């Protein structure tokens, strides 16, 4: 049996890690049972009334205008997201409580112990016969080799330099840095980043499989580079930085990306900056969502959304990779190196796996970085986005347009002011504007709570006006102004639908008399 683990199975240990069994007394069966129970527990907790009420409140603030079904859908999305995050947090917390940085490395450690017990190997926690029979494990010992690669990256030689199947650990970081979106990162500059090309791992596995140990005496191997050919974090950064300076990443519509200078300020500094950015985004979001909808506020919301995505990206990468970037550990590979030396000389070119053969400058700048960035460089020419043209349909088609803030750059308060100021002498404008301004906080609070109640409050300002008088004002004063605020692109889309015989509907909260000039569009 050849069991593939990871060198990082050593967890939070520091110093030199030998090719030997892990010393721990964790009951992997108990951990497996608890892990399987975590989802039912989280699902049950997610349905507690206090949580559902909180999500209902949050969703209602966002979707109050869209109706109860949209709100209910968002509540369920929030519940599912909460369950997933709770499981992630539970795994990380359990791993860290046992001395591993994350659940990945913990489960690798538990997997090794399970393999040792199933193979009947001699460990510090021997298999109990009753457990072996109860779980269907082998009662007779099997030869077992446990192989621990370090950070597996693209091929050095085979099947060709740079070959890699999907993104692994370092690729997302390298690409993010090359795009200029990773301004700083926690890490110890003198620490060793233990990369190993995938073809060296494959060759090492073949060599291990060809020389099984005695049954009951498992053998352990590190396929790694840090012991005899160390690459420091700072050296890796310098090589990757120089590569992107010579071969910058393209940015559509923005020329070429410039890469930042890292100063390695430490995890505490990065955490403080991230926390500050997260709070700033949350505050900006709360403020902007309370403002009336308009083209300007939609632009602000878009920028806040982009900034939130960037901060979430940085948080995710800091949480995932900081422990590896700050690892102070060397994995010896003496046993694995002896296997390499035992290969016949004529087979070493094809099947050798000596990490000392790696020239890190050549590997990173001529092989790895070009390979992982190639898909991002082969981009199609920029094509201006075009609104798809409607097609005639055999069945009736209804095209619905939101009027205020989408087709028309206006809102119900602005519409009221158009008519009111047109009917007042100029000397009274200041008083009317001041009155509306004093009412704005109340209007905004009402609109956040109930759109219909907000509209009723605005409509009360029309008290005493005659319908005939309003129609005359619209025809004489507001019609041209209203039409000048219509979006040309939106107008073209409406006309395209009508040319195809579609029914067009304009949704608005304004008085019908105010939008009378647009009746031909609906």
**Checking DSSP bridges between strand 255-256 and strand 250-251, what pairing results, if any?**
antiparallel
Does pLDDT of 138 surpass 50? no
At 168 the pLDDT is 67
Does pLDDT of 34 surpass 90? yes
Q: Report the distance separating Cα 227 and Cα 341, nearest Å.
A: 16
Which residue would you say has higher pLDDT here, 269 or 237? 237
The arithmetic mean of pLDDT across residues 451-458, rounded, is 80
Q: How many residues does the chain have?
A: 522
What six digits make up the tokens of 233?
A: 């974090």
| pLDDT tens, residue by residue, 159-198 | 999 998 876 678 888 888 898 888 888 888 999 999 999 9
* Cβ-based neighbours of 15, under 8 Å, separated by 6 or more: 328, 329, 330
162 conformational bin, left if phi > 0, alpha if psi -120 to 50, beta if neither: left
At 339 the pLDDT is 96
The arithmetic mean of pLDDT across residues 97-107, rounded, is 94
Which string of b and e fits 165-192 if b means at least 16 CB within 10 Å? eeeebbbbbbbebbbbebebbbbbeebb
Q: What is the CA radius of gyration of the chain?
A: 33
The arithmetic mean of pLDDT across residues 393-418, rounded, is 77
The structural domains of the chain, with segments of one domain joined by +, span: 2-26+98-377, 398-521
At 126 the pLDDT is 44
Contact call for residues 248 and 258 (beta carbons, < 8 A): yes
Sign of CA dihedral 252, 258, 262, 266: negative
What is the 3 state secondary structure string of 152-183? Answer: EECCCCCCCCCCCCCCCCCHHHHHHHHCCCCC
Does pLDDT of 135 surpass 60? no
Does pLDDT of 299 surpass 90? no
Domain 2-26+98-377 top-level CATH class? alpha beta
Least confident span in 134-148, 212-226, 295-309: 134-148
Confidence of residue 462 (pLDDT cuts 50, 70, 90): confident
At 128 the pLDDT is 47
The arithmetic mean of pLDDT across residues 113-142, rounded, is 63
Which residue would you say has higher pLDDT here, 377 or 112? 112
DSSP 190: T
Q: Report the distance separating Cα 522 and Cα 508, nearest Å.
A: 11
The answer to pTM > 0.85 is no
Q: What is the DSSP string of 248-262?
A: PPEETTTEE--PPPP
At 451 the pLDDT is 74
Q: Report the distance separating Cα 495 and Cα 502, nearest Å.
A: 10
At 522 the pLDDT is 59
The closest alpha carbon to 407, from 492, 478, 481, belongs to 492
E strands, 358-509, in order: 398-402, 503-507
CA torsion, points 473, 479, 485, 491, in degrees to nearest 10?
140
At 130 the pLDDT is 42
Which residue would you say has higher pLDDT here, 296 or 334? 334
Contact call for residues 112 and 4 (beta carbons, < 8 A): no
Return the percentage of the chain with pLDDT > 90, whole number. Answer: 42
Helix/strand/coil for 217: coil
Least confident span in 186-200, 332-346, 493-507: 493-507
Beta bridge partners of 505: 400
Confidence of residue 356 (pLDDT cuts 50, 70, 90): very high
At 49 the pLDDT is 96
Which residue would you say has higher pLDDT here, 334 or 475? 334
At 311 the pLDDT is 83
- Phi, psi angle pair for 202, to nearest 5°: -60, -45
Angle at 285 between CA 280 and CA 287, to 5 degrees: 95
Which residue would you say has higher pLDDT here, 322 or 221? 221
Other beta carbons within 10 angstroms of residue 72's beta carbon come to: 13
Contact call for residues 233 and 191 (beta carbons, < 8 A): yes
Return the percentage of the chain with pLDDT > 70, whole number. Answer: 89
What six digits make up the tokens of 467?
A: 């319908």
E strands, 304-406, in order: 329-331, 398-402
Percentages (nearest 5) of helix, strand, coil residues in the chain: 55, 10, 35
Least confident span in 95-99, 449-453, 460-464: 449-453
Does pLDDT of 26 surpass 90? yes
Which residue would you say has higher pLDDT here, 194 or 64? 194
Beta bridge partners of 233: none
Mean of the per-residue pLDDT values for the chain?
84
The arithmetic mean of pLDDT across residues 95-121, rounded, is 92
CA torsion, points 9, 121, 203, 335, in degrees to nearest 10?
80
At 129 the pLDDT is 42
Which residue would you say has higher pLDDT here, 172 or 48? 48
> What are all long-range contacts of 448-457, with beta carbons under 8 Å and residues at least 24 apart?
448/61, 448/64, 448/290, 449/64, 450/64, 451/64, 451/65, 451/509, 455/412, 455/509
């Amino acid at each position: 049996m050849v069991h593939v683990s990871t060198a990082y199975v050593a967890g939070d240990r520091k110093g030199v890690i030998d090719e030997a069994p892990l010393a721990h007394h964790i009951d992997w069966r108990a951990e497996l049972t608890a892990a399987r129970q975590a989802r039912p527990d989280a699902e049950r907790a997610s349905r507690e009334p206090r949580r559902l009420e909180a999500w209902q409140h949050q969703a209602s603030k966002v979707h109050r205008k869209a109706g109860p079904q949209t709100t209910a859908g968002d509540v369920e999305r929030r519940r599912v997201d909460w369950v997933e995050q709770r499981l992630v947090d539970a795994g990380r917390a359990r791993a860290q409580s046992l001395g591993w940085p994350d659940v990945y490395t913990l489960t690798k450690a538990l997997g090794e112990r399970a393999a040792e017990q199933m193979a009947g190997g001699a460990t510090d926690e021997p298999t109990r016969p009753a457990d072996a029979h109860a779980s269907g494990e082998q009662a007779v010992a099997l030869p077992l080799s446990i192989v621990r690669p370090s950070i597996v990256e693209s091929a050095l030689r085979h099947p060709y330099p740079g070959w890699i199947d999907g993104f692994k650990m370092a690729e997302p970081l390298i690409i993010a840095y090359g795009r200029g979106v990773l301004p700083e990162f926690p890490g110890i500059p003198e620490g060793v980043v233990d990369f190993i090309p995938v073809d060296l791992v494959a060759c090492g596995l073949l060599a291990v499989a060809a020389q099984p140990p005695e049954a009951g005496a498992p053998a352990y191997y590190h396929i790694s580079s840090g012991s005899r050919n160390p690459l420091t974090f700072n050296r890796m950064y310098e090589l990757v930085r120089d590569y992107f300076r010579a071969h910058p990443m393209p940015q559509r519509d923005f020329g070429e990306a410039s890469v930042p200078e890292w100063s390695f300020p430490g995890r505490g500094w990065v955490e403080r900056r991230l926390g500050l950015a997260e709070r700033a985004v949350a505050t900006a979001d709360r403020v902007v969502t309370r403002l009336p909808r308009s083209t300007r506020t939609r632009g602000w919301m878009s920028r806040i959304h982009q900034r939130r995505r960037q901060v979430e990206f940085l948080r995710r990468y800091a949480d995932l990779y900081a422990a590896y970037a700050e690892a102070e550990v060397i994995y010896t590979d003496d046993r694995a190196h002896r296997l390499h030396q035992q290969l016949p000389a004529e087979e070493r070119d094809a099947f050798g796996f000596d990490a000392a053969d790696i020239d890190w400058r050549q590997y990173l700048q001529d092989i790895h970085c070009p390979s992982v960035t190639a898909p991002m460089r082969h981009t199609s020419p920029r094509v201006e986005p075009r609104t798809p043209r409607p097609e005639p349909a055999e069945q009736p088609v209804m095209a619905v347009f939101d009027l205020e803030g989408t087709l028309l750059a206006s809102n119900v308060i602005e519409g009221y002011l158009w008519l009111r100021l047109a009917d007042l002498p100029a000397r009274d404008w200041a008083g009317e504007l001041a009155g509306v301004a004093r009412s704005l906080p109340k209007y905004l609070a009402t609109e956040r709570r109930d759109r219909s109640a907000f509209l009723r409050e605005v409509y009360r300002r029309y008290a005493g006006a005659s319908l005939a008088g309003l129609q005359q004002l619209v025809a004489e004063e507001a019609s041209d102004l209203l039409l000048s605020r219509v979006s040309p692109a939106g107008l073209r889309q409406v006309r395209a639908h009508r040319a195809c015989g579609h029914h067009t509907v304009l949704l608005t909260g304004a008085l019908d008399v105010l939008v009378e000039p647009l009746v031909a569009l609906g």
